[in-house]
Amino acid sequence: MKVTTIIAAITLIVMSTSQTFAQSNDSMVMVERQKTQKIDRHGVCRMVENIGPGDAMIPVRTSSEWAVGQGSFLKNQHDDLVVTACACAPEARTYVQSQILDDHSFFKFSPAGNSLAAIYESNGNNQLRFYKLNSAGIFVVEDAFSISLLPRGGVTNFVFSGDGSQLKVLKYNKEYDTYQHDGSEWRKAGSGKALFLPNSAYGKPSYAAGSQHYLMGSFVLNHDGSKGIYAQHADGGQGLKGKYYIMNTPSNGDWSLDHIIDPADLGANIELLVGLYDVRPGGMALNKTGDVATVRLFHRSGMGRRGVAVYKKTSETWSHTQTLWADVAAPNPGYNASGHNYIAGDVAISGDGETIISVTNAFSGWSNYRTHFAKHTLSGDKYIMQYNENIGDTAGGSIMDHPHITGLDYGGDFGYANLHSMPWGQTHEIGIWSLKDRPKMMDPGTITFDANTRSTFLYQQDFNPFMQSGEIFGLLVNASKTSMREVNGYTFAEPEVVLYRAACSQ
C-alpha cells in the first residue's frame, strides 16, 4: 500500500453517481467515471482518465494543489485515475466553442498564442484591446487603448511580430502605430507613416470616410518586426495586377520601401490577384531574419493554378530564387488517362516563412477527384519537399467538398479550409487539418454553422487564425444577419469573434 501525505490523501474526492456537483469551477474540476478530462491550469496541462466506479473531483485552485510540490495532485498516485500528457493524436482531436467576444470586428493571435489583439467597437467607444490567456484557458483583457471612432477604428490591418513582443497597426490614412509589451504591460511605443504604399484599387471605402489617401491590404512582419511585406487589395475581377512591397518597418519613425515584387516580371500570365478571395491566410511571409520573402502567385493559363515565388536578399539586392507551383507536386501521369483532366492547385505559407503546404486536386466531371498534399520546408533560400501524399481518390462525391488548405498556423503544423456545401449560402464548414508528419483531418475536425443566421469573414483574418500549437482556433462571424447597426450613416452587421478550443475525442 502506498503511503502518501495527508494533503495528498485529500486531493481526490471520489463520489457516487447519485451525488450532484458542478462539473468544474475555480477550485475543482470533475472527471466523470469512465471519461477523460483535459485539465490545463497554472501552466500545466494533463489528461486525467477516470477508470473508477464513481466521479472524481480534482483540486486546481492553486498551483500547489494541482501541480507544484510534494502534496500536489500530480506529484502523487491515485487509484482509478490515469494521468497522461495533454497532446492528442491529430485524428483524436476535436474543437469545442470556448468563448465569444461580442462587438469585435477584427482580431489576430500572437504567434505563440498566449495573446490576442482585437478591435472593439461599441457605442462610439472604439478600442484596440490586448487579451492574455489565463490559467483556465480563457482570454481576458490585459490592456486597452482608445482609437479612432471610424468603423473598425480606421484600421486596415494589424500584425504581431514573430516574437510576439510588438503589434504594428496600419491605418487607412497610411499612418501606423507600434505597441510594445515591456514584460508587464502593453504600451504605445511609436508611430509614423508609410506614404509609399499604394492607394486601394477599389472605390473609396465607407470605413475610410473623410480620408483622401486610404489603404486596403494585408501585411506581415518578420521575427523582430524590423521587416514587413504589404500586399495591396487589388480588383481581381477586373484583372488588375497587384504587387508586394517589402518594407523596413522600425518601431518609430517613417517606414521605407526596400523592394517591390511584381509577379508579372516572372511571366506574362503570372500575377497577384488579390481580391477578397486571394488575400487570405498564407499569402506571403518573411523568414526570421527578413532576408527571404515568399509570396503567393496566380497563373492565368490554368484554372485555379496557384503557386509561390521565393526571393532572397544578398548584398542589399533582392533576387528571385525559386517558383513552386502547387500542381507540380502531384504525380500527373495517369491522371488524364483515368479521366482526371481538370487540375486545381492551391498553396498556403506558414507565418514564420519556413513551411509551404500545397494541395492539388484533379477532377473528372463533378463527382470524382484525387487529392495530393505536399509539404515543403525552407532550406537556405529554397524550399525542399518533405512529403507528397495522395489522401483522396474518391468517386461519387462533390468537388465542392474537395480538400484544400486556406491558411496555416504560424509554425505550419496545422491548417484549415473554408468549405462551402450545396446549396449555396445554407451551410459553411471550417475543416481543421494536422500537417506536421502527414496530412490528417481532425476527427470530427469540422466546425459547422448555419449561414442563414451567421456568416464568416475569414478573408479579413489574413494570418494566424490558430494559436501556434493548434489548441485554439478563432473565427470572425456576423452575430446575426438580421442584427445590424449604423455608424456614420453606414450600416454594418454586428460582428463577434468566436473562439474554439481543442479537446481530445476519446
- Mean per-residue pLDDT over the chain, rounded: 77
Give the pairing of strands 244-248 and 407-408: unpaired
| Poorest-pLDDT segment among 53-57, 83-87, 494-498 | 83-87
Amino acid at the residue 259: H
- pLDDT (tens digit, 9 = 90+) per residue, 351-379? 899 999 988 877 766 666 678 889 999 99
pLDDT, position 257: 97
Higher pLDDT, 263 or 468: 263
Give the pairing of strands 55-59 and 13-15: antiparallel
pLDDT, position 14: 43
3 state DSSP class of 481: coil
According to the 3-state scheme, what is the secondary structure of 285-319?
Answer: EECCCCCEEEEEEEECCCCCCEEEEEEEEECCEEE
Higher pLDDT, 240 or 477: 477
Long-range contacts of 275-278 (CB under 8 A, 24+ apart): 275/233, 275/234, 275/235, 275/236, 275/237, 276/233, 276/459, 277/236, 277/459, 278/236
pLDDT at 340 over 80: no
pLDDT, position 183: 86
Span 411-429, average pLDDT:
65
Question: What is the phi-psi region of residue 219: left when phi exceeds 0, alpha when psi lies from -120 to 50, beta otherwise?
Answer: beta
pLDDT, position 122: 80
Q: Which residue has the cell 504567434?
A: 111
149 CB-near residues (< 8 Å, 6+ apart): 124, 126
What Cα–Cα distance (Å) separates residue 412 from each residue in 32, 89, 108, 375, 439?
35, 17, 16, 9, 12
Count the residues in the chain.
Answer: 506
Per-residue b or e along 484-499, where b marks 16 or more CB atoms closer than 10 Å to that residue's CB: eeebeeeebbbbbbbb
CB 156 within 8 A of CB 106: no
Span 427-447, average pLDDT:
76
123 CB-near residues (< 8 Å, 6+ apart): none
Element (H, E) at 432: strand 427-434
- pLDDT (tens digit, 9 = 90+) per residue, 197-243? 987 655 555 544 454 556 777 889 999 999 999 987 655 444 446 78
pLDDT at 155 over 70: yes
DSSP 199-228: PPSSSPPGGGTT-SS---EEEEE-TTSSEE
454 CB-near residues (< 8 Å, 6+ apart): 477, 478, 479, 480, 481
CB 379 within 8 A of CB 338: no
pLDDT, position 6: 37
Amino acid at the residue 247: M
